[in-house]
Chains A and B, each alone.
Chain A
Amino acid sequence: MTDTPLLELDKLSTHFVTARGTRVVKAVDEVSLSLRAGETLGVVGESGSGKTTLALSIMRLLPTAARIVGGGLRFAGEDLLAKSPSEMRHIRGKRIAMILQDPMASLNPLFTVGDQVAEPVRVHEHTGRRSARDRARSLLKAVKIPAPEQRLREYPHQMSGGMRQRIVGAIAMSCEPRVLIADEPTTSLDVTIQAQYLKLLRDLQREHGLALIFITHNLGIVARMCDSVAVMYAGRVIEAGPVRTIFNAPVHPYTQALIESIPRLGGGPSRLTAIDGQPPDLASLPPGCSFQPRCPRAFDRCREEAPGAITITPGHDARCWLAVK
């Protein structure tokens, strides 16, 4: 059971096409990932590198301009790309749940917290009001909200940001999903609350054997939370592997630069290295490797030919010609 991946992306590509079809933006390009139950995958990358589009592709909730143009997407042995919209609706929220970025805006201001936590349960399991309410209470307890009985009857504006984020977490967990996608769930929280929240997510994951996809641009969180990492750049996963390997022996110059740009305590006064230049325009990628114009170690082959995924050690691969040099 644990050997077969729960969620498997095979060269999944999602492109945005402009109305006239003149510009194609490869937001997600040939991304292959796999995730087992109980595992945490970190997806890192700068803004616009395709992280959120990747998450939405998995949920099959893309905006109308975007389309999955190729590749495979399998969940628990089923082909998600072959599902009808109504079949997908039964999977969303029940078996694959998602936590959105902004806890302040994720809750409907007009309903009590209890109603909202109970909503997925009522939608998916058609349970009555009372048993849904009991479920909501135990969910609030599970996300460590003090005085859950009283909080159930309160409105979102009466709670702090951290509490609201935990409630959003409770909503995501309400139908006991197998996969949870968290899209930068902590960016709007302060550091102490962030730490509490991450611990909570880890506890929930351990309890329920969840597969967790953690989308973030905070490498510190990745180091602490994740088993494996996928680094995205310009719509592609340019390096993926176990956390330890990626942090200790990154192969791709982009990954190296990312790790070097983290400020370190006790390292003495030294300048942080920054990556020169800007991420490329996804509609007109440079020839060859998309990182090549900014890469300090680029050579001729990088400018001519885009590298495929090159396996360095089993489970660790990189799209970089340096790996074969």
Chain B
Amino acid sequence: MSASTTAAPSAPSRAVGLPLASRLAAFRTEGFPTIPIVILLVLVFTAVFAEFIAPHNPEVGSLSQRFKPPAWVAGGSSAYLLGTDHIGRDVLSRLIFGARVSMIVGFTAVIFAGVLGTALGILSGYFGGWVDQVIMRITDTWLALPALTFAIFLAAIVGPSEWNIVIILGAVYWTRYARVIRGEVLSIKERDFVRLAIVAGCSKMTIMRRHVLPNVLNSAIVLATLMLGVVIVTEAALSFLGVGVPPPKPAWGLMLADGKKGLMAGYWWLTVFPGVCIVLMVLSANLLGDWLRVKLDPQLRQL
């Protein structure tokens, strides 16, 4: 990073002679995650410029064109690269617009839950006492409720819409963060640098903001990347049950649910493509998060 006097060990030589598992681990953490970043950038790009990329209107189909297979399969047409669904809508266009829905819902819900959970986790861990008791008992109660049922319950109250889904997912999943972050804070607040800050006369707010928060941020980010998958899958489940993103909108989860009907009849492209999209997005986010975790830690970063 800066011109340090320590000699730079050459990164690849470290991996030589190690068992395969640790060599893989070294590869995984040391390499720049090119593929995940490219995948995410492509998804972000398609989400932003969906109108210009999509060949067809995602919400309007023609019944004469229903259940067309992908272009390279017999009976497919080059006008519908990835085929069409049960009412003749273009699968590719729906995937492209679906990226937008999944991105918006996934990222905002993860961030919403993350901010809420991290803040409450820090307060709970740092203050301890009754504050901790109250927050943790609420968390316990939350975790005792089945997440999906709870989400359906909330959705039934507030009604289905894209933004309500974000709020619902945030409200359901903040406890995961609160739990993990509280645990981290409990160990961090006993560290000497926090003591030093106390001895130096910093207020509790300053210590939480400047010394505790940055030290739990890594965990929060790693957790967020894991939660992204959970949130997207939950969104899909809610959409499938009719309490998620309202139907004409092309959400990946909704496509998966719609496609389920055609699966037995051999219309595999209706479920495989949205499924692949979800897997790619979640996997990319996880790999990126893993790399970020290493990158954000100055001690692991070394030179």
Whether a CB of chain A sits under 8 angstroms from the CB of B25 is no
Whether a CB of chain B sits under 8 angstroms from the CB of A150 is yes
Interface size class on chain B is 20 to 34
Q: A-B pairs with CB below 8 Å: how many?
A: 79
Q: Given the interface contacts A100-B192, A106-B193, A108-B193, does A123 sit within 8 Å of B201 by beta carbon?
A: yes
In the complex, what distance in Å separates the CA atom of A93 from the CA atom of B199? 6
Which residues between 103 and 126 of chain A lie within 8 Å of chain B, taking CB atoms?
105-111, 119-120, 123-124
Say which one of B2-10, B43-51, B281-289 lies at the interface with A: B2-10
A221 partner residues in chain B, CB cutoff 8 A: none
Say which one of B82-90, B165-173, B208-216 lies at the interface with A: B208-216
A199 partner residues in chain B, CB cutoff 8 A: none
In the complex, what distance in Å separates the CA atom of A94 from the CA atom of B202? 10
Which residues between 200 and 224 of chain B lie within 8 Å of chain A, taking CB atoms?
200-203, 206, 210-211, 214-215
Of A89, A100, A101, A106, which one neighbours B201 at CB under 8 angstroms?
Answer: A89
Does the CB pair A102–B198 fall under 8 Å?
no
By secondary structure, the B interface counts as: helix
Does the CB pair A100–B195 fall under 8 Å?
yes
Q: Given the interface contacts A89-B201, A90-B201, A119-B202, does A100 sit within 8 Å of B196 by beta carbon?
A: yes
Q: How far is the CB of B25 from chain A (nearest CB, A)?
A: 21
B211 nearest in chain A by CB position: A108
Interface size class on chain A is 20 to 34
B201 nearest in chain A by CB position: A93
In the complex, what distance in Å separates the CA atom of A92 from the CA atom of B200? 6
Q: How far is the CB of A215 from chain B (nearest CB, A)?
A: 14
Does the CB pair A120–B200 fall under 8 Å?
yes
A92 nearest in chain B by CB position: B201
A154 partner residues in chain B, CB cutoff 8 A: 2, 4
List 19 A–B pairs whose Cβ atoms lie within 8 Å, in order of A's numbering.
Answer: A92-B201, A93-B200, A94-B201, A97-B199, A97-B200, A98-B199, A100-B196, A102-B192, A108-B215, A109-B193, A109-B297, A109-B299, A111-B210, A119-B197, A119-B200, A123-B203, A150-B3, A154-B2, A157-B302
